[in-house]
Structure formats: structure tokens, C-alpha cells
Amino acid sequence: AQSVAQPEDQVNVAEGNPLTVKCTYSVSGNPYLFWYVQYPNRGLQFLLKYITGDNLVKGSYGFEAEFNKSQTSFHLKKPSALVSDSALYFCAVRDPNSGYSTLTFGKGTMLLVSP
Amino acid sequence: EAQVTQNPRYLITVTGKKLTVTCSQNMNHEYMSWYRQDPGLGLRQIYYSMNVEVTDKGDVPEGYKVSRKEKRNFPLILESPSPNQTSLYFCASSPPGRNTEAFFGQGTRLTVV
């Protein structure tokens, strides 16, 4: 069975500083990995995904994520945080060998960027 | 505009009164899913559908029903809602292929009293 862990319930960072939101996964084969963001009273918005190839993936709003197979991690990063980045972030995994393309989500990490 | 539309956005109901949350997508996607979001638990899949007339249970299907009579619509039915179904519900759709991202609706906040 596939699973995702987001070890931090909340991450606090000052505006202008780099940010990292952590994600580790468990899947039987090579994973497909996704990051989504949820702003208050909104649905989830897709940020980026890793399918294959370059371990560093660039996405929307200046976010990027690094796939590390040996550590089974897919941490979300941004070089310089903005107050408007404050939101709930979800990591998700899909097992490419599963019978159906079910997305399994982590519990989410609240990112708070202070001015 | 490509979108997934859920209705209603907010609903307060009483225990046992049947309700339906509608979901419609305009992207001609084969795959559709329903999730519930609860604090500390993230998103959990309730039901999914791979195409018209093809539905299957997700991780937390108890107390819910779905139907997929048309490709664009995937309603979620609570025939006898209970307070433990108070939650934030999301509908999602995606094209075929395991490397594709899902598109989410705006959510329906349901309170069962």
C-alpha cells in the first residue's frame, strides 16, 4: 500500500527567507509525486509533480521540489517566501503499478509566512 | 474556463435527512473522485469512478453512495447523514494516466446536526 508522511503540522518562516515543507513516501515501485496548495475557503490547486527524469522539479509560484529516491523524500522548497504563500500544503503519491490511479495524500502542513 | 463545480458550497442538515452534493466537470475527464478532508487526517478518498457506470469504493465509503450516469457528473449521496459525516468534501477529476494531476472543486462544507 502507498502512503505519504508530512512530519510537520506547521512550518513558520519569515518573509524573504527560504522555506522547506517536508514529505516522505512509501510505495512499491517508482512513485509519481505531487504537491498541492489549499488557500482558505478554496479547493486544492496543483503546484508541481515528479514523474521521471530530473530530480529537481519546478512548478507554479516559484516553488520547486527535490525528489530523493534513497531517502524516499519529495520536499517542497522556495528560495524566498512571501506572506501570500501562507496556506495548507499537501503532498500526494500515486503508485504507477496500482490498478487504479488513486492519489494518496499526506495530512497536510500549514505554512505561515510572517512579514 | 476548465473547472470542477460543486454545489452547494455550504450545507447544514439534520441527522437522517437524505442529501446530494453535485459535482460537474467540463474537461471531459474520465476519472472522478470524492474526498473528505478532516483536521489532522488530510484528504481521504470516499469513492471514485473510472468512467460512466464504473464506480468503486475508496478508503472511507461507509455511509455514502455515488452514481456516474454521465461523464461530466458525479454526485455524492448521503442517504441517512450522521454527525460523523460533518466534514469538508472535495470532488476531483483527472484525465486517464497515472502521471496526470487531479483538478479539484471548491469544496462543500457539510454540517450534520
Contacts of B57 in chain A (CB under 8 A): none
Query: For B53-58, which contacts have Cβ atoms below 8 Å and span 24 or more sequence positions?
Result: B56/A100, B58/A102, B58/B33, B58/B34
pLDDT value of residue B1: 86
Q: Which residues contact B102 (CB under 8 A, 6 or more apart)?
A: A44, A46, A103, B31, B33, B92, B93, B94
Q: What is the pLDDT of residues B41-59, one digit of tens each?
A: 999 999 999 999 999 999 9
Task: Give the residue, A1 or B15, on which the prediction is more confident.
Answer: B15
% of chain A surpassing 90 pLDDT: 77
Cα–Cα nearest to B109, from B40, B5, B36: B36
pLDDT value of residue B28: 93
Contact with chain A for residue B89, Cβ under 8 A = no
Q: Calculate mean pLDDT across residues A18-37.
A: 93
Contacts of A100 in chain B (CB under 8 A): 48, 50, 56
DSSP-assigned states of every residue in A75-102:
EEEESS--GGG-EEEEEEEE-TTSSS--
Place of cell 500549514: A110
Assign 3-state DSSP to chain B and report helix, strand, coil percentages, each to 5.
5, 50, 45
Contact A101 B90 (CB under 8 A): no
pLDDT value of residue A11: 98
Q: What is the largest CA-CA distance in chain A?
A: 46
Q: What is the largest CA-CA distance in chain B?
A: 40
**Res A1 pLDDT > 80:** no
Contacts of A99 in chain B (CB under 8 A): none
Given a contact cutoff of 8 angstroms between Cβ atoms, the answer to whether B91 and B6 are in contact is yes
Would you call B3 helix, strand, or coil by DSSP? coil
pLDDT value of residue A100: 60
Q: Calculate mean pLDDT across residues A24-43.
A: 90
CA A112, CA A59: separation in Å to the nearest integer? 20
The parts of chain B modelled with pLDDT lower than 70 are: none
Given a contact cutoff of 8 angstroms between Cβ atoms, the answer to whether B84 and B29 are in contact is no
Question: Which of A12-26, A48-62, A100-114 is predicted least confidently?
Answer: A100-114
Q: What is the pLDDT of residues A63-111, one digit of tens each?
A: 999 999 999 999 999 999 999 999 999 999 987 776 566 788 999 999 9
